[in-house]
Amino acid sequence: MIKILIADRDEFEAKGIQWLITSSISNADVLVAVHLDDTLLMLEKEQPDIFIYDMNIGNMESIERLLNIMEPNLVCLTMEATYESAKKAIDLGAKSLLIKPFSPQELLKQINSIIRKHLRKQQNTLFPSNLDARQEVVYEELFMEESKNANPYVFIAFQPEKASYLPELNRFIKEYMFPAPPIIFPLSDMFICLFKKTRDADWEETGKRFLHDWELEEKEPICIIINDEKDNQLTIHDKYIRTRRMAEVTFFVGYQQVLHFVKPLEWDFIDPFLTPDEQRQWISFLNEGDKEGISEFLTREFLNFSNPYPDPGLLRIRLTSILAQIRRYMKSANIDLNKFELEYLGIFDTILYDPLIYRIVQKLLIFTSELVDSVFDSTRNQHMELMDKCIHYMELNYWKAHLDLRNVADFVGRNPTYISYLFVKKTGKTFRERLTLLRMREAKKLLEETELAIKEISILTGFHNQHYFSRVFKKMVGKTPKQYRQRY
């Protein structure tokens, strides 16, 4: 039990601090003094571990003499944010100085930090030092296959969502009171801690308590992964590799929780590439601006997983396959590529490195929705040249077999005869020749970039008859679709 004494001349405020600490910290006995005499008496009689001291309570000299003898962990309070107040606190040996009014979280953060250090100091008198414990397992054994047996140890990983919080997490782990002293291995994205197994230790409960205490001080999400496998044949290296794999489950379930494993984690295999049908589906989604279809596909394929989970690496590859379809659409659409280029690169980076699948899908949905809206909005732009409007409409609808000159003329609100004349005058080609060139351009891209069957490509480029498509393709390109694909 940690004994805490609060000395504050404002009784109402002192009682409030007492309530805050007792309701937040379970192992604390909190006492209150509101007069100088009471404070001196309780300091001598109770000998508190932590002394929360309002520096305006009375004669500082008598307090200072007692503090020099007893040396409790001191937290000073004052209403004066001055150099003199700071110097007084330093002279008294205070662990921290809080300026009134301060937030409850700020006070609890200081108290919890002092308690952890105090308990850690007590623990070090009961157990061998960490230096001795470190000699049992060294860094190299995590990475070398011929390492010693892991059976005596429970492996616990502490993983922050952001690596920038590793220094804070390192401090917190070192100060924390565990059932056994940890052997701590800092890594680039987490800490792996080895604990000697003890009969009465409840490691899951320990993890939950650690997480609760962390949340009182820090807002950054962390996940605690406990590898408590019972396989007696595992080496330190084996268990390290398995613990790292277990930590990857955060990709699906997120942070701010404790994951407890008693058997190895196995990934469920998935094909990381889009099937021909899925490629065709995405081409259709984008060409038609079907945002609802895109949302349903991404939700179904990436947000409905349960154990056994697929390998996160394969999922990232699958997402890049979708991004490749979006990239092809970006290049074929009549939009300002510069406007979306940075966003596209940002999405690519998110797919590769973001630690959470739901956030990747969310950002991809937003980007795709904005892209589709931009393409269709540009079609309605009244400042676009008439011929540009016609060609842009064709680029969005070339895949429709029934697309004809009247459809284009109706879209721009002009006579078909005038539009036919305009095509020859502006482009040097008839409407039908221009449409065929557009369809051949898209057919070549599909042959180069996908594994879709030639029949499916003919349908996606506006030809219902595969043989007719092949004849037109050979006439325009000089090779059959099959011969053209073999070049790639």
Q: Which residues of 319-330 are buried (b: 16+ CB within 10 A; e: fewer)?
A: bbbbbbbbebbb
pTM here is 0.66
Which of the four pLDDT bands, split at 50, 70 and 90, describes residue 380?
low
Q: Answer for the pair 414, 431: CB distance below 8 angstroms, yes or no.
A: no
Q: Which superfamily does CATH assign the domain made up of 130-261 to?
A: Reverse transcriptase/Diguanylate cyclase domain (3.30.70.270)
Structure tokens at 198: 């003890």
CB atoms within 10 A of CB 130: 15
Q: Is the pLDDT of residue 10 over 80?
A: yes
* Contacts with 88 (C-beta within 8 Å, 6 or more apart), sequence order: 55, 60, 76
Q: Answer for the pair 283, 333: CB distance below 8 angstroms, yes or no.
A: no
Structure tokens at 39: 């404070």
Which of 379, 372, 171 has the alpha carbon at shortest distance from 290?
Answer: 372
CA distance 56 to 310: 62
User: What letter would DSSP give residue 403?
Assistant: -
Mean pLDDT across 456-462: 90
CA distance 362 to 330: 19
CA distance 467 to 63: 99
Q: What is the reported pLDDT for 358? A: 94
Mean pLDDT across 43-57: 88
Q: Mapping DSSP to helix (H, G, I), strand (E, B) and coil, where does residue 96 land?
A: strand
CA distance readout (Å), 31 to 10, 66, 118:
14, 17, 18
Which of the four pLDDT bands, split at 50, 70 and 90, describes residue 222?
very high
Which of the four pLDDT bands, split at 50, 70 and 90, describes residue 404?
very high
Helix ranges (H only) for 160-235 are 166-175, 203-217
Q: What is the reported pLDDT for 488? A: 66
User: What letter would DSSP give residue 284?
Assistant: H
CATH number listed for the domain at residues 2-121: 3.40.50.2300
Q: Answer for the pair 65, 58: CB distance below 8 angstroms, yes or no.
A: no
Q: What is the reported pLDDT for 135? A: 57
Q: What is the reported pLDDT for 386? A: 84
CA distance 484 to 488: 8
Residue type, 76: C
CA distance 232 to 374: 59
Q: What is the pLDDT of residues 92-114, one digit of tens each?
A: 888 889 998 888 888 888 888 88
Structure tokens at 462: 């506006």
> Minimum mean pLDDT among 119-133, 262-276, 358-372: which range?
119-133
Structure tokens at 82: 């001055």
Q: What is the reported pLDDT for 133? A: 45
Cα dihedral 52, 57, 58, 63, rounded to 10, equals: -10
Mean pLDDT across 26-39: 87
Mean pLDDT across 150-172: 94
Which of the four pLDDT bands, split at 50, 70 and 90, describes residue 130?
very low
Which of the four pLDDT bands, split at 50, 70 and 90, describes residue 451?
confident
DSSP output for 339-369: HHHHHHHHHHHHHHH-S-HHHHHHHHHHHHH
Which of the four pLDDT bands, split at 50, 70 and 90, describes residue 147?
confident
The pairing of beta strand 28-33 with beta strand 257-261: unpaired
Q: What is the reported pLDDT for 357? A: 96
The pairing of beta strand 153-160 with beta strand 191-196: antiparallel
Q: What is the reported pLDDT for 105? A: 86
Mean pLDDT across 191-214: 92
Mean pLDDT across 19-45: 88
The pairing of beta strand 2-7 with beta strand 50-54: parallel
The CATH number of 386-486, from 2.70.150.10, 3.30.420.40, 1.10.10.60, 3.40.50.720, is: 1.10.10.60
Q: What is the reported pLDDT for 128? A: 52
The per-residue pLDDT of the chain, averaged, comes to 88
Mean pLDDT across 328-347: 81
CA distance 211 to 282: 42
In the chain, pLDDT over 90 holds for what percent of residues? 50
Domain ranges of the chain: 2-121, 130-261, 276-377, 386-486
In the chain, pLDDT over 70 holds for what percent of residues? 94
CA distance 187 to 244: 11
Higher pLDDT, 401 or 123: 401
